[in-house]
Amino acid sequence: MKIYIGHSREYDYETELYKIIRADKELNNENIILPHEEGYVGNITREFYSDIDIFIAEVSHKSTGLGIELGWVYDDKIPIYCIHKKGIKISSSLKIVTDKFYEYDTNEELINVIKNILKENNKI
Amino acid identity for residue 82 in this structure: C
**Angle, vertex CA 122, rays to CA 118 and CA 124, nearest 5:** 55
Residue 124 has a pLDDT of 59
**CA–CA separation, 78 and 40 (whole Å):** 20
Helix count (H) and strand count (E) of the chain?
A: 4, 5
**Is residue 84 helix, strand or coil?**
strand
Residue 93 has a pLDDT of 93
Residue 40 has a pLDDT of 61
Domains belonging to the chain, first-starting first, are: 3-106 (3.40.50.450)
Taking only the tens place, the pLDDT of each residue in 37-63 is 876 656 678 888 888 999 999 999 999
Whether 91 and 62 have beta carbons less than 8 Å apart is answered as yes
Q: CA torsion angle for 75, 57, 68, 22 (degrees, to 10)?
A: -110
Neighbours of 80 (CB within 10 A): 20
Q: What proportion of the chain, given as a percentage, has pLDDT over 70? A: 94
Q: How is residue 17 annotated by DSSP?
A: I
Spans of the chain below 70 pLDDT: 39-43, 123-124
Whether 86 and 110 have beta carbons less than 8 Å apart is answered as no
